[in-house]
Amino acid sequence: MTAQIEMMEERRWQAMINEDLDALNVLLHPQMRYTHSNATVDTKDSYIAAIENKTFDYRNVETKDTEVQLIGENDLGLVNGKALISVVAGGRELSLDCRYTCIWKHTENGWQFLAWHNTPLPK
pLDDT digits (tens, 9 = 90+) for 17-42: 999 999 999 999 999 999 998 899 99
Q: Please report the domains of the chain, with CATH numbers, ordered by start residue.
A: 2-120 (3.10.450.50)
Residue 47 three-state SS: helix
Phi, psi of 25 (to 5 degrees): -60, -35
18/7 Cα distance (integer angstroms): 16
pLDDT digits (tens, 9 = 90+) for 66-90: 999 999 999 999 999 999 999 999 8
